[in-house]
Amino acid sequence: MPKPPLTLYLAAPRGFCAGVDRAIKIVEMALQKWGAPVYVRHEIVHNKFVVDGLRDLGAVFVEDLDDCPDDRPVIFSAHGVPKAVPAAAAKREMIYVDATCPLVSKVHIEAQRHADNGLQMIMIGHAGHPETVGTMGQLPEGEVLLVETVEDVAKVQVRDAGKLAFVTQTTLSVDDTADIVAALQARFPDIVGPHKEDICYATTNRQEAVKAMAPKCDAMLVVGAPNSSNSKRLVEVGARAGCDYAQLVQRAADIDWRALEGIRSMGITAGASAPEVLINEVIDAFRDRYEVTVEMVETAKENVEFKVPRVLREPA
């Protein structure tokens, strides 16, 4: 039987961003410098394949600093941590390396600057996400109020409507966030926003590529982890942009082939913490079943690179 034809649209940019690339490199370099085990507080990035690979090299992933011994290095994940965490590590005289994405650190600095100017913060983000927890933990309790939806804006209780600023999680839907910001500005006309968009370049670029690709596709797959905020947002953006079937898969084995029966065009992208090897695995799975023609949908070029911390560049 001849294979049915399939046009496979491949989004660009997709997959790893500079912050994820840097975080993984930090763990690898720490293992080279200090040997195994190196402890990592929380998954370094939200991707099982990446985490399992680093675990095989000698990284030990824990959820709490209390689970780390004093005499081994500890790395803080790319999502950022509350201020209390490095303070506790310093008190225990631990070697620690902060792998927080520089674009998340920028939001932390912004929040502190606003607080120093006497402003109460409102954060647009997802409750319980490690990035939100880390950003809210930069300031004393009660100084950062969380809103997740436009409806939350109407209910939020502030100290002084004339002394407010807002920041956002870096991995949100650009469109959803714009609606929440508009609601904040309508209710609190004096609220101060970021100098520059908090949603990171990689999140924005991946969403734009999906918007360009979605109308061409009968179905779309996002390669990414179920706990990856930016990956889940890509699924939502794809569905909203006109693709009837948009699903998240961690690997090729997760593809629901029955749901894809009869398709002629397929879109593939990946969240910022998904490695290219998993994207290629998905493409190969389609080549096994279809006569595939690949078309690139490129909406931006990325050449951002972040340096690793100096402690890893110095000899042991």
Residues 11-31 pLDDT 10s = 999 999 999 999 999 999 999
Q: Residue 261's pLDDT is what? A: 95
Q: Residue 100's pLDDT is what? A: 98
Residues 21-74 pLDDT 10s = 999 999 999 999 999 999 999 999 999 999 999 999 999 999 999 999 999 999
Q: Residue 288's pLDDT is what? A: 97
- Whether 301 shows a pLDDT value over 90: the answer reads yes
* Averaged pLDDT of the chain: 96
For the segment 130-145, the average pLDDT, to the nearest whole number, is 96
Phi/psi for 213 (5° steps) reads: -85, -35
Q: Where are the domains of the chain?
A: 5-16+201-298, 18-101, 103-187
Residues 187-228 pLDDT 10s = 999 999 997 778 899 999 999 999 999 999 999 999 999 999
| CB-CB neighbours of 140 under 10 Å | 9
- Out of 28, 93, 131, 208, which one is annotated catalytic? 131
Region at 94 (left for phi over 0; alpha for psi -120 to 50; beta for the rest): beta
Catalytic-residue membership of 131: yes
> CATH 3.40.50.720: does it fit domain 5-16+201-298?
no
Contact 152, 158 (CB under 8 A): no
Give the CATH architecture of domain 18-101: 3-Layer(aba) Sandwich (3.40)
5-16+201-298 and 103-187, same CATH topology = yes
Tokens of 101: 């994405």
Give the CATH architecture of domain 103-187: 3-Layer(aba) Sandwich (3.40)
Phi/psi for 54 (5° steps) reads: -70, -35
